[in-house]
Amino acid sequence: MTDESTKKPCLIRARDRGPEASMSHPFNPNSLIHGHLLGMATGLERIGVNLIRVPPGKESFIYHRHHGEEEFLYILSGRGIAEIGDEEFEVGPGDFMGFPVPSVAHHLKNPFEEDLVYLSCGEKKPTEIAEFPRLGKTMIRSGNQVSLFETSAAEAFPGLEKVK
């Protein structure tokens, strides 16, 4: 079955997904994920839906927080360590993490001996601001353009001081 407006299938069967894509975060040498961009494959434009697998000893991306796009993670199999704010939690099948904006910083690690598999879903807005607090960096994405700067270098915009 295909949505005629996008020419992408509305149903993707597990057997038809094809090979996993792999990627890692450029600021985390221990980052490695494999998975499928399910939302993109069906033509979803406003939300990302991804089936992610983190191999043993690897991490998802990097400790980060969002300012514009909400995100959630749902653990399907395996175990992991979720860093949420200043705390760590062991997570497993059926555990759900939701990050409304502005979100608390978060990250997933897999120090265990089996793959950690989860569903990652989030908004896809035209503009997003994300922080990497442990690196002291802020990212701004506008369309396909991505800018990165030192958070401490940010300046207040003149004339927009808080009104008391």
- Give residue-wise pLDDT tens across range 15-46: 999 899 999 999 999 999 999 999 999 999 99
Residue 60 has pLDDT above 70, yes or no: yes
Tell me the average pLDDT across 83-89: 98
Q: What are the start-end ranges of the H helices in 81-142?
A: none
How far apart (Å, rounded) are the C-alpha atoms in residues 133 and 122?
20
Residue 79, exposed/middle/buried by CB under 10 A (0-12, 13-18, 19+)? middle
Q: Grade residue 1 by pLDDT with cuts at 50, 70 and 90.
A: low
Q: Is the pLDDT of residue 69 over 70?
A: yes
Euclidean distance between CA atoms 31 and 159, whole angstroms? 41
Indicate if the pLDDT at residue 129 is higher than 70: yes
123-126 contact pairs (CB < 8 A, 24+) = 123/46, 123/47, 123/48, 123/68, 123/69, 123/70, 123/71, 124/45, 124/46, 124/47, 124/48, 124/69, 125/68, 125/69
Percentage with pLDDT > 90 across the chain: 86
Q: Contact, 72 vs 41, CB < 8 A?
A: no
Give the start-end residues of each E strand in the chain: 2-3, 8-9, 21-23, 33-37, 47-54, 65-66, 71-77, 80-84, 87-91, 96-99, 106-109, 116-123, 127-132, 137-142, 145-150
Distance of CA 28 to the CA centre of its chain: 14
Listed as own residue / partner, the contacts of 148-154 with beta carbons closer than 8 Å and 24 or more positions apart are none
